[in-house]
Amino acid sequence: MAKDAIELLKADHEKVKELLNELTDTTTRAEKKRPQLLDEIEQELEIHTHLEEKIFYPAFKKAGNSNHDELYFEAFEEHRVVSEFVLPDLKKTDPTSDKFSGRAKILKELIEHHADEEEKDMFKKARQSLTAEELATLGEEMNQRKQELESEKS
Ligand SMILES: [Fe+2]
Ligand SMILES: [Fe+2]
């Protein structure tokens, strides 16, 4: 069976967490591997963030009156910290430096924290406030968009 919206987002989380683990396992000798992994992480995050901000979060907000608003706005801000500050900084950092190692670790911690919060809080509330059918339909829409975005990039 096709993944519903939450299963799709969780699968993305697993994938990006694996990549982040790989990244933080590298050393200052991984001059080529580090930027490669970082590129992959960036692409994954870009697509995942798009799916959440354009499709999932608005559906979540709409399903909850005002009680979902706090989580909704907090999630956007956490995305912004990563995409506008932490990730661009890391991309500018010399991959053979210890600074890179430190910044990669922070990126990993921020994303793990954010994904965890989504899964424990937002997704849980989404399961309660959206029907199985709604989550399945959202999942289809997100899967389709994901494939479009992936083909644009390749
Ligand atoms: Fe997110
Ligand atoms: Fe997420």
Where do the structural domains in the chain lie, given as residue ranges? Answer: 5-153
Nearest ligand atom owner, CA of 5: 2
pTM: 0.96
Per-chain residues with Cβ under 5 A from ion ligand 1: 52
- DSSP run (H or E) holding 46: helix 33-51
**130 φ/ψ angles, rounded to the nearest 5 degrees:** -115, 145
The pLDDT value given to residue 67? 83
Q: Is domain 5-153 annotated with CATH 1.20.120.520?
A: yes
Quote the ligand 1 centre to 49 CA distance (angstroms): 6
Q: Which sign, positive or negative, has the C-alpha torsion 70, 88, 116, 50?
A: positive
Quote the ligand 1 centre to 16 CA distance (angstroms): 12
Quote the ligand 1 centre to 95 CA distance (angstroms): 26
Quote the ligand 1 centre to 35 CA distance (angstroms): 23
Phi-psi region of 4 (alpha: psi -120 to 50; beta: other; left: phi over 0): beta
The pLDDT value given to residue 66? 86
Contact indicator for 48, 9 with CB cutoff of 8 Å: yes
The pLDDT value given to residue 37? 98
Nearest ligand atom owner, CA of 75: 1
Contact indicator for 118, 72 with CB cutoff of 8 Å: no
Task: Give per-10-residue mean pLDDT for the chain (154 aa).
Answer: 94 98 98 98 98 98 92 97 97 98 98 98 97 98 97 85
Can you spell out the DSSP letters for 112-123?
HHHHHHIIIIIH
